[in-house]
A and B are shown apart, each in its own frame.
Chain A
């Protein structure tokens, strides 16, 4: 299908901290604004230790399920929801975004947030998804989730917090290893 061979990826390394992060990179909406939620979690390695030098990007439809194609993700005006954000984990391995619950992009589809993760020691970016915990029927019918073993499936579904936010942890390795996705049809 592809006529050209893609350029290989390489690790983001440890020193992206002054280059990739930018002001309000993790605020897809201003905290506290109408409809906004907090999406948070921790990134773990294979020893179960939190990683202090990972960086996550999320990309999602708006609350109505529409794919937004607005500019202004790097220089945010504080009002425009562009659907994309970036968050470096802190020393505790915790990341946090302010965003909205993604809507279903088609009637009956299970809404999800698309994720790309980068880290020192991770040779190439990994893709995964964060599904909302509600609407069991839509989750059961989802093509990706239904193709997974039940225990692995749960790694892609966030928990709903008491404040209305979402908590979703990412494990690069180990017993509860997050499901990572390959869109090319051949792993590596």
Chain B
């Protein structure tokens, strides 16, 4: 049923209306599907998952690739099962990054322009660990996000909310020896998108990470605790398991909060397990050295 209609969704379905300061903020090509329609679809999938769990099914720890409430996924999810493969040589390593690639100041998103960005200053800190709980050191972490008003500096984002001349929303860092990362930034705002009528994304920061193996590569989104938009968002809800969803929500950390400066959030990221043994790892030599 959905496939027959799929073409309907393929064009520009995440664009918001062009900015028209004096126009009523209703999309001119108003999607006929409402949040209530989408929420009903999400609820049905959630109930089917709950039944499967009750019948002894395994918890799903990753998002569903086939999750029709996120309309853009309909033509973009593989229909065949992923093919199991044993990682081979190149896949057992990942690219090396170092301070040559990333400047230390890139982890502070509030100092990239001449003035102070608007919004609520925050510190986001955590550790990158592998599936065995080992810190993933010396690895690239990239983040990007909307500004405090929910606007991205992207030509396709025409949400009629102000751009902030003092905020780009891009940061990078290299993890420390204990796998730690730390960013200073601005809390992003929620923003509308055109998946359906009155669709709003919960505030989030996009994270991109490698690991010691290319098979550990991950791009994900960090959310903020207590967001009222969680039950309504098809992207967050594409993870059908509540425990798994909770892994994407940062914790407010008053110890990390900096007095008279910034609120602190803590979020650890767990990559999949490394397929390499320590001996192979050590025999390879230090990153950056010619073999």
State the CA gap A24–B168 with chains docked (Å): 21
Enumerate chain B residues within 8 angstroms of A120, measured Cβ to Cβ: 14, 72, 76
A164 at the interface (CB under 8 A from B): no
B:89-128 near A, CB below 8 Å: 89-91, 93-98, 100-102
Do B73 and A116 have beta carbons less than 8 Å apart? no
Enumerate chain B residues within 8 angstroms of A20, measured Cβ to Cβ: 142, 144, 208
Contact segment of B24-32, B43-51, B57-65, B251-259: B57-65
Contact of A18 among B14, B62, B75, B153 (CB under 8 A): B153
A135 at the interface (CB under 8 A from B): no
Do B218 and A125 have beta carbons less than 8 Å apart? yes
Known: A17-B154, A47-B7. A75 touches B101 (CB 8 A): yes
Q: Which residue of B lies closest to A188 (CB)?
A: B62
Do B219 and A9 have beta carbons less than 8 Å apart? yes
State the CA gap A10–B88 with chains docked (Å): 25
Enumerate chain A residues within 8 angstroms of B285, measured Cβ to Cβ: 69
A37 at the interface (CB under 8 A from B): no
Enumerate chain A residues within 8 angstroms of B248, measured Cβ to Cβ: 7-8, 10
Do B291 and A18 have beta carbons less than 8 Å apart? no
Closest CB in chain B relative to A40 CB, distance in Å: 20
State the CA gap A123–B82 with chains docked (Å): 14
Q: Bits for A119-154, please: 1 = Cβ < 8 Å to B, else 0.
A: 111111111000000000000000110011000100
Enumerate chain B residues within 8 angstroms of A2, measured Cβ to Cβ: 131-132, 272-273
Centre residue among B7, B83, B101 by max chain A CB count within 10 A:
B83
Do A124 and B62 have beta carbons less than 8 Å apart? yes
Q: Bits for A2-17, please: 1 = Cβ < 8 Å to B, else 0.
A: 1111111111111111
Known: A2-B273, A14-B14, A114-B214. A181 touches B85 (CB 8 A): yes
Enumerate chain B residues within 8 angstroms of A3, measured Cβ to Cβ: 131-133
Closest CB in chain B relative to A139 CB, distance in Å: 14
Q: Which size class do A's interface residues fall under?
A: 35 or more
Do A74 and B101 have beta carbons less than 8 Å apart? yes
The count of chain B contact residues (Cβ–Cβ below 8 Å) is 91
Do A71 and B100 have beta carbons less than 8 Å apart? yes
State the CA gap A2–B152 with chains docked (Å): 36
Contact of B156 among A15, A143, A174 (CB under 8 A): A15
Contact of B238 among A12, A19, A123, A147 (CB under 8 A): A123
Enumerate chain A residues within 8 angstroms of B22, measured Cβ to Cβ: none
A161 at the interface (CB under 8 A from B): no
Enumerate chain B residues within 8 angstroms of A188, measured Cβ to Cβ: 60, 62, 64-65, 82
B84 at the interface (CB under 8 A from A): yes
User: Can you list 14 A-B pairs with a CB-CB distance of less than 8 A?
Assistant: A6-B218, A7-B247, A7-B270, A8-B63, A9-B220, A10-B238, A13-B206, A15-B156, A16-B206, A17-B154, A18-B169, A74-B140, A120-B72, A188-B64
Given contacts A47-B10, A124-B65, A144-B85, 4 further A-B contacts (CB under 8 A): A69-B93, A74-B140, A180-B78, A181-B83
A residues touching B (Cβ–Cβ < 8 Å)? 1-20, 45-47, 49, 51, 57, 59-61, 66-67, 69-75, 82-84, 102, 105-106, 109, 112, 114, 116, 118-127, 143-144, 147-148, 152, 172-174, 177-185, 187-188
